[in-house]
Copies of this chain bind each other. A is one copy, B any other.
Amino acid sequence: MLKVVKFGGSSLANAEQFQKVVDIIRSDKDRRFVIPSAPGKRFDGDTKVTDMLYSCYRQAEQGKDFGRSFRNIMERYQDIISGLGLDLSLDDEFAVIEKNFLEKTGEDYAASRGEYLNGRIMAACLGFAFVDPVEMICFDEEGNFDDRRTDKAMRKRLAGEKNAVIPGFYGAMPDGSVKTFSRGGSDITGSLVAKAIHADLYENWTDVSGFLMADPHVIKDPVVISTITYREMRELSYMGASVLHEDAVFPLIKEGIPINVRNTNRPEDPGTMVVESTCNKPQYTITGIGGKKGFASITIEKAMMNAEIGFGRKVLQVFEEAGMTFEHTPSGIDTFSVFVNQHEFEPLEQTVIAGLHRAVRPDLIELESDLALVAVVGRGMKRTRGTAGRIFSALAHAHVNVKMIDQGSSELNIIVGVENRDFEAAIRAIYDIFVTASL
């Protein structure tokens, strides 16, 4: 087995967390390639090292004295080194960084030092090789990531290494200068490494024990999802926060490399496996419940619209010309509704209404706002009869008024539209009927 393991910022925020990470890596000799993030927040209200670096560099760029800010950053790392009892000095490293700040080497360089220094500490601690991603991760002249050159360089560079620490988040331009990925980009680095060396598993260690079946702000202590397919994850993450960086997951899944989301603070928890597909039967009929507030619906009524070739296209074209995407388009016989993001729609409302009148001469246009969408997702729904019945009975019992239902032919999800104020009640009712009731 060959595992690539990536640790998030909270897993490396201080010496205590760092020690947990070291123990985790040492406990499994398959964990051979390590991708560290920069140190994250140690407590609520703390500042991430990456943000400290951005702000310190801004001072340097403006010609201000950044000494104090710089010392604070140095202290963060020194605390980790001392806490771990390591015999390591980063003085030379910091001298180089300070010099480069003074020479205004760039914001990307500055931000990347958080991961770089953490990588140095990690490599020393584990006795692993340190491989700087500037040697392998290539961007082109325009700053676009170069997939093919990167893959080739990585294979070559890592071929001889038994173990290595590779800082996440950045690579190099053709002139050798540092270029970063977008925020959360350490997962991109990890996924590139896993792909290049044909890893068997990619572990993503964070501060949660995997994906939860529902939002913990709505459901107290929701059950952790043990196995989720990539498609299910997409359908759920789309409507809420995601643990994984989308651009990182897709290439891995396409290569057939499963992702294991684990909790650094509870290494005994198995976490969530993200896979392309699986025969693994889900424990509950549904895999999870996602959702989001703040949608609006535009319902267009027109007698005989179904016989009008091009009707739907003309309606959607109006939204497109206004620069809007849409979520769902449920339709009746003489009605066609478009569900959109309310925030995005509000400034364009009158433009869209006027456009619809011009485009399709509707009998009536009705707007409804403050709607929420709840997505009930699960590969198990296809094989279980009565899922829809249970969902809607539960919602009725909870006095939730169902405004919209959309189930595509994928049979992987049912999407329900409710009023914003019914959002939490809807999620609770669905969670209770499928999970609480069978615990």
Contact = CB atoms under 8 A, between A and B. Distances in A.
A331 B328 contact: yes
Interface residues of A, number: 71
B337 A409 contact: yes
Interface in A375-432: 375, 385-397, 399, 401-415, 417
A71 B385 CA distance: 64
Contacts of A393: 386, 389-390, 392-393
Contact of A394 (B324, B337, B389): B389
A401 B385 contact: yes
A389 B397 CA distance: 9
Contact of A335 (B317, B319, B334, B410): B410
Which of A324, A389, A403 has most B Cβ within 10 Å?
A389
A397 B34 CA distance: 52
Contact of A406 (B304, B316, B331): B331
Contacts of A235: 332-334
Which of A304, A323, A366, A385 has most B Cβ within 10 Å?
A385
Contacts of A413: 332-333
A296 to B, nearest CB: 10
A313 to B, nearest CB: 4
A222 interface: no
A26 interface: no
Number of identical protomers: 2
Contacts of A368: 409
Nearest to A297: B409
Contact of A313 (B316, B388, B406, B417): B316
A101 to B, nearest CB: 37
A95 interface: no
Given A388-B402, A396-B386, A250 B303 contact: yes
A390 B246 CA distance: 38
A227 interface: no
A307 interface: yes
Contacts of A326: 312
A386 B392 contact: yes
A140 interface: no
Interface string A250-276: 100000000000000000000000000
A329 B336 CA distance: 10
Contacts of A331: 327-329, 406, 408
B303 A327 contact: no
Interface in A278-330: 297, 299, 301, 303-304, 306-313, 316-317, 319-320, 323-330
A405 B406 CA distance: 6
Across the A-B interface, the 3 shortest Cβ-Cβ residue pairs: A386-B396, A389-B393, A389-B392
Given A389-B394, A404-B407, 20 more contacts: A297-B409, A310-B316, A311-B325, A312-B329, A313-B319, A328-B330, A330-B407, A330-B408, A331-B408, A332-B412, A333-B413, A385-B399, A386-B396, A386-B397, A387-B392, A387-B396, A388-B388, A403-B409, A404-B408, A405-B406
16 contacts: A235-B333, A299-B410, A306-B327, A328-B330, A330-B330, A337-B409, A366-B409, A385-B399, A386-B393, A387-B392, A388-B396, A389-B392, A389-B393, A391-B392, A392-B393, A403-B411
